[in-house]
Amino acid sequence: MKIAIVNDMPMAIEALRRALAFEPEHRIVWVARNGAEAVQMCAANTPDLILMDLIMPVMDGVEATRRIMADSPCAIVLVTVDREQNVHRVFEAMGHGALDVVDTPAVGAGDPKEAAAPLLRKIFNIGWLIGQRSARERSAGTVLQGAVRRGGLVAIGSSAGGPAALEELLKGLPVSFPAAVVLVQHVDQVFAAGMAEWLSSASGMPVRLAREGEPPQPGQVVLAGTNHHIRLLQDGTLAYTAEPVNEIYRPSIDVFFESVARYWSGDAVGVLLTGMGRDGAQGLKAMRQKGFLTIAQDQASSAVYGMPKAAAAIDAAVEIRPLRTIAPRLVEVFA
């Protein structure tokens, strides 16, 4: 994979070089010392992946991500030495299309290969997404009847560009919105609690992490909060599970949507928002085949038109809508 590094700290650049050296198939094509340089260099030589620092002089990683995704889009992973201090910047950059976030590998402490492992694992996952490959193919044709659940449920999946899209969608829902809302966003569990807090403050809708063993509750918004998948069980409660282990992204949107198709017998709507790859498309199709309303975000309003495009390609979405119209549609459905 052709990889670029954007960082103003020589020690961090060296740490990334050492980490990438453990995988000889990765090649560093250029290094930029600030966001402005990165925008120019990316336009001249677009890599497969950029490892983007958040805090830099001249132009920070948030603005650089926004400009690159607008002009020379490619996969971007945020790299930071202090995730807790930069949590709001992380979500802002992810709103512009950054795919993931990882700590800068430590230098000179412990096993260097072990320190590099989290970064290399994320790069491996992104390689699958870039190649448009799927860890496994599903058949969405068989939908099982399960436990009886009443009320309404909105199942929402998002990835790159998701935080900003979720913020806008939730802003469009009234605090008295009667259906349960479950969000599945591709985000590391280290950031899940911070994202729930950020969504609450940014959108005005109370958002918290989903708890093991609870049922989706009318009028409540919950976010999948671990690196395991979240699914609906036959008894109508939510559970976290490591299976299936061969899913590239955790939590998997497909896993949750498919469980809703099997076990939710009230009214439900599936919504697939911006993101790279194909996660959620097959699950959305399963929900459509069950008779649920399914909505995919349109290309013009998507930061990354990957997942919604995949859903449209297999006719998984009943409706394809601009982001600004999705919340009003949900209000209409559950009025």
Residue 22 CA to residue 113 CA, distance in Å, equals 7
Residue 64 CA to residue 74 CA, distance in Å, equals 12
Write the DSSP assignment of 177-227 as a string of letters: --SEEEEEE---HHHHHHHHHHHHHHHSS-EEE--TTPPP-TT-EEE--SS
Cα angle 237-239-243, degrees, rounded to a multiple of 5: 140
Beta bridge partners, 240, equal: 230
Considering only CA atoms, give the Rg of the chain.
20
Residue 78 CA to residue 102 CA, distance in Å, equals 6
In a 10 Å sphere around its CB, with 0-12 CB exposed, 13-18 middle and 19+ buried, how is residue 194 labelled?
middle
- Could you give the residue numbers annotated as active site? 159, 186, 279
Q: Is 122 helix (H, G, I), strand (E, B) or coil?
A: helix
Instruction: Give the sign of the dihedral formed by CA 144, CA 209, CA 243, CA 132.
Output: positive
Query: Chain-centre distance of CA 265, in angstroms?
Result: 27
Q: Which of 33, 21, 30 is nearest to 64 (CA)?
A: 33
Q: Is 21 helix (H, G, I), strand (E, B) or coil?
A: coil
